Amino acid sequence: MAKLSQEDLLAQFEEMTLIELSEFVKAFEEKFDVTAAAAAPVVVAGGAAGGAAAEAVEEKDEFDVILTGAGDKKIQVIKVVRELTSLGLKEAKDLVDGAPKPVLEKVAKDAAEKAAESLKGAGASVEVK
């Protein structure tokens, strides 16, 4: 197997969805018995340094995706909720049955919009706050 360069790895990560990336991080942590939490502050600090102008105009950068109703296709909505979260079948069903409830909390705008589109595509009514 050829060794991938750092640029090649970054290009691969760039193509992944947030869920795929999250699953990769979990698998990486298990395989190498490490925790990625130590790297998170470095990423945040690097992003904050590059976005000094963005800090001047305080924009909301964390969004909540709220499931307001399951619609007619409840099973499809449960499947999408399970894809978006790490919930099991029972927990996802309870979340859908208990709507309005948050599906994702404090996520980036892009992730919130994608999650909302997925849920709407399954027939759910969704609110992004």
What is the CATH number for 82? 3.30.1390.10
Helix extents (H) in the chain? 6-15, 18-32, 40-50, 52-56, 74-84, 89-97, 109-121
Position 51 in a domain: no
pLDDT tens readout for residues 29-40: 888 887 765 444
Question: What pLDDT score was predicted for residue 53?
Answer: 45
Asked if the structure places residue 109 within a domain, the reply is yes
Residues 121, 77 within the same domain: yes
pLDDT at 39: 44
Per the domain annotation, does 29 fall within a domain?
A: yes
Asked whether residue 83 carries a pLDDT value surpassing 50, the answer given is yes
Give the count of domains, the chain.
2
Q: Give the residue with greater pLDDT, 102 vs 39.
A: 102
The full length of the chain comes to 129
Q: Tell me how many degrees the CA angle 17-44-113 measures, rounded to the nearest 5.
A: 35
Nearest alpha carbon to residue 80 among 66, 72, 65, 92: 92
Task: Give the residue numbers spanning the domain of 13.
Answer: 7-39
